[in-house]
Amino acid sequence: MITAQSLELTYPETEQPSLAGVDLQLNAGEVLGVVGPMGAGKTTLCMSLAGLVPRTTGGEFGGDLEVVDLDPRQAPVPDVAQRIGLVFEDYASQLTQITVLSEVMAPMLNHDVPVKQAEAEARRLLSELGLARLDLEHKRTWELSGGQQQRVAIAAALAADPQVLILDNITGLLDPDGKEEIRSLVSQLSQRMTLVVVEQDIDLLVGVADQLLMLRDGQVSALGPADQLLRDLTALDDAQVEPPVVVQVAQAAGLPDNPLTVEELTSVVQSPDVMESAAPDVPQPAVLGPEVSAPVPEIDAPEPEVDIPGPWIRAPEPEVDIPGPWIRAPESDDRPKAVEIDHVSFAYPDGTMAVQDVALRVAPGEVHAIVGGNGAGKSTLLRMLCGLVRPSSGTVRMDGKNTRECSPAELARTVGTALQNPDEQITERTVREEIGDALRRRRTRRTGWFKREVVISDEQIAEAVDRAVELVGIPTDLMDRDPTHLSRGHRKLVAIAGALVLDPAVLILDEPRVSLDAPARAALRRLLHELRDRGTAVVIVEHDLDLVAETADTVTLLDLGRVVASGSPHAVFGANGAEALAKTSLRPPRAAQVAAAFGVDAITVAELATQLYPVKQEV
């Protein structure tokens, strides 16, 4: 279905090829997973397979390529469009119509599907992608939340019913339910089409991908059966990809082989010698307590039996203490809060109630995560925190300032913000200028009608930029590049560094994790810890709940604009929070899902591994 031989591509005005010597062989109905660090050429590969590179970008190409019996780089566009579908990572630019319904109907109308049939099919696709709740006929595409836009783009690509479907990192903005929906969608689609799936979230490829391609610097660093490569730690490390969560758990617990699925993991830890020699001092009833028989969250493996946990598991830790009502009681100390919002609501002009009666407190040095499904109102809430949107009712105080009383520009001196879409923020020609931009714009102060004095020197700007770059971990060789030509992950980092350059009292991050590879993700974790030490208050919106569980001090769970739970990560994601969580489109962090399969109440890999410690000793 797809055959590539020494595929090559060099963009105009660059010397390094973005793809070099890529060989591929994919049969009909197979799923190819593609992973690799930022800037490895994954998007270039996708665009080449769809014939868009070099057609729309220019550049030199080489090698042989055949996709569904034609070379998409040279075949007429309509022929390519009939056979190949592509969903881009850049969700905002691939919406071409005004309303949601017409966006999905258009590809079908273009292929002469009768209107009635197209509309029915469009509605079916949209509800399959979880958008049935929207007013499909009237909701404007550019007024959707990021995740909703991504879902519409997927529906529109499916509407064309291609034979080859290429998904370029499309799940980054989706909530956990959305990711699972994509996983089952991909398995289902693979019965009638061939898929190329670029993914940052490697767990989504487990059990779905047949082949795995690891790209690095435009070259194939590994290619082979996904089943093997996904647990091959050297290969994964080489491609700068984090191993799947089960592999991480097994590694942290010191298991000999690398199980890939929960099923495999249970069979490994249950092996007879482990059972026999397991610590007998753990009372079995404690393990089989009421928590254990609670419904086990679904993981890709068939549901493990509830009574699997053997005697080797430590008894669940005593329950984490959570105050009765879900909302944390206001703390009694008089320290000023960095963020204080009370009874805040916001409705968009089209009547969407995005945020309703939300209260939130963030202390200096606290990392506060806001989580919730797509369209839950997270980004809207952040826009209120940085003053871009004023609440319809209620007050927002940031670092003591009421956002009604100062302009966003004034507020930005103490509140740094990196928006969900980095492209909205990037305006300068080099990375260095871009990061220093917020400082440079404040370089002078008006002292008279025609007089301005310099208040920030160039050296100070350079220093601040270096500090921010180091904090965020941007490779120094990128400093003089044009930020618009960087990979999306790097653009995101640039936007974060730009928000940090003013050394803000509050830092607001909307989905920082999207598009980041393993090293950048580690850098992000370090950054959050460092900011906590420096006393910066951080408000972060994030769909990667494993990252949240590892780094946040407090978690607020939003659903349909309302706070449904708030507390420590354990309170929200652990066994006690399961009920509130299940009502939203979130699922516990992956590590917690694996833990639940063993009846352990852990929410991070590290925690789970310590609870599996007895096994490690015995093996």
Ligand X SMILES: Nc1ncnc2c1ncn2[C@@H]1O[C@H](COP(=O)(O)OP(=O)(O)OP(=O)(O)O)[C@@H](O)[C@H]1O
Give contact residues for ligand X (rule: CB under 6 A): 143-148, 173, 348, 350, 352, 354, 372, 374-380, 420
Beta-strand runs (E) in 170-240: 194-198, 211-216, 219-225
Tell me which stretch binds another protein (CB under 8 A): 87-95, 181-189, 454-462, 547-555: 87-95
Residue type (1 letter), 29: G
DSSP 319: P
Smaller CB separation from Mg ion, 174 or 615: 174
Output the smallest distance, CB 358 to Mg ion, in A.
15
Residue 441 binds another protein, judged by CB under 8 A: yes
Output the smallest distance, CB 473 to ligand X, in A.
24
Pairing of strands 339-347, 164-168: unpaired
Whole-number Å distance between alpha carbons of 297 and 309: 16
Smaller CB separation from another protein, 34 or 84: 84
Other C-beta atoms closer than 10 Å to the C-beta of 448 total 7
Helix, strand and coil content of the chain, in percent to the nearest 5, comes to: 40, 20, 40
Which x/- pattern, by CB under 8 A, does the window 22-51 give for another protein?
-------------------------x--x-
Smaller CB separation from another protein, 493 or 608: 493
Output the smallest distance, CB 509 to ligand X, in A.
13
Smaller CB separation from another protein, 2 or 253: 2
Output the smallest distance, CB 565 to ligand X, in A.
15
> In which residue are the tokens 């397979």 written?
49
Q: Which two tokens stand for residue 136?
A: 């499909």
Among 21, 23, 57, 392, contact with another protein (rule: CB under 8 A)? 57
Q: Which does 485 bind (CB under 5 to 8 A by kind): another protein, ligand X, Mg ion, none?
A: none
Smaller CB separation from another protein, 86 or 265: 86
3-class SS string, 248-311: HHHHHCCCCCCCCCHHHHHHHHCCHHHHHHCCCCCCHHHHCCHHHHCCCCCCCCCCCCCCCCCC
Whole-number Å distance between alpha carbons of 385 and 391: 9
Q: Which does 258 bind (CB under 5 to 8 A by kind): ligand X, another protein, Mg ion, none?
A: none
Nearest-CA neighbor of 122 among 133, 143, 108? Answer: 108
Is residue 127 within a helix (H) or strand (E), and if so which, with residue range?
A: helix 115-128
Nearest-CA neighbor of 239 among 184, 202, 271, 285? Answer: 202
Q: Which does 580 bind (CB under 5 to 8 A by kind): another protein, Mg ion, ligand X, none?
A: none
Q: Total binding residues for another protein by CB under 8 A?
A: 67
- DSSP H helical segments within 288-427, as ranges? 290-293, 378-385, 408-411
Residue 419 binds another protein, judged by CB under 8 A: yes
Residue 380 binds Mg ion, judged by CB under 5 A: no
Which x/- pattern, by CB under 8 A, does the window 485-524 give for another protein?
-------------xx-------------------------
Whole-number Å distance between alpha carbons of 187 and 235: 25
Q: Which does 157 bind (CB under 5 to 8 A by kind): Mg ion, ligand X, another protein, none?
A: another protein
Among 328, 390, 401, 442, contact with another protein (rule: CB under 8 A)? 442
Residue 408 binds another protein, judged by CB under 8 A: yes
Contact between residue 221 and residue 239 where contact means Cβ atoms under 8 Å apart:
yes
What are the distances in angstroms from CA 614 to CA 189, 250, 270, 319? 42, 13, 12, 21
Smaller CB separation from Mg ion, 248 or 420: 420
Q: Which two tokens stand for residue 311?
A: 């005697």
Q: Which two tokens stand for residue 246?
A: 């089960």
- Which residues in the 88-147 window bind another protein by CB under 8 A? 88, 90, 92-99, 102, 106-107, 109-115, 118, 138, 140, 142-143
Cis amide leading into 54 (omega within 30): yes
Smaller CB separation from ligand X, 285 or 351: 351
DSSP 113: -
Q: Which does 377 bind (CB under 5 to 8 A by kind): Mg ion, ligand X, another protein, none?
A: ligand X
- Which residues in the 391-430 window bind Mg ion by CB under 5 A? 420
Residue type (1 letter), 141: T
Residue 391 binds another protein, judged by CB under 8 A: no
Tell me which stretch binds another protein (CB under 8 A): 242-250, 277-285, 321-329, 413-421: 413-421
Q: Total binding residues for Mg ion by CB under 5 A?
A: 4
Q: Which two tokens stand for residue 78?
A: 């309509």
- Paired residues of 344 in beta bridges: 358
Contact between residue 249 and residue 231 where contact means Cβ atoms under 8 Å apart:
no
**Phi and psi of 17, rounded to 5°?**
-70, 145
Output the smallest distance, CB 136 to Mg ion, in A.
20
Q: Which does 568 bind (CB under 5 to 8 A by kind): another protein, Mg ion, ligand X, none?
A: none
What is the number of the residue whose Cβ is closest to ligand X? Answer: 147
What is the number of the residue whose Cβ is closest to Mg ion? Answer: 379
Whole-number Å distance between alpha carbons of 342 and 348: 19
Contact between residue 39 and residue 494 where contact means Cβ atoms under 8 Å apart:
no
Output the smallest distance, CB 175 to ligand X, in A.
6
Smaller CB separation from another protein, 86 or 615: 86
- DSSP H helical segments within 301-392, as ranges? 378-385
Q: Which does 82 bind (CB under 5 to 8 A by kind): another protein, Mg ion, ligand X, none?
A: another protein
**Which own/partner contact pairs does 400-406 have at CB distance under 8 Å and 24+ positions apart?**
400/336
Output the smallest distance, CB 347 to another protein, in A.
12
Cα–Cα–Cα angle for 539, 544, 550, rounded to 5 degrees: 70
The contact set with Mg ion (CB under 5 A) reads 145-146, 379, 420
The contact set with another protein (CB under 8 A) reads 47, 50, 52, 56-57, 77-78, 80-82, 84-86, 88, 90, 92-99, 102, 106-107, 109-115, 118, 138, 140, 142-143, 156-157, 160, 348-350, 383, 386-388, 407-409, 412-413, 417, 419, 421, 423-425, 427, 437-438, 441-442, 484, 498-499
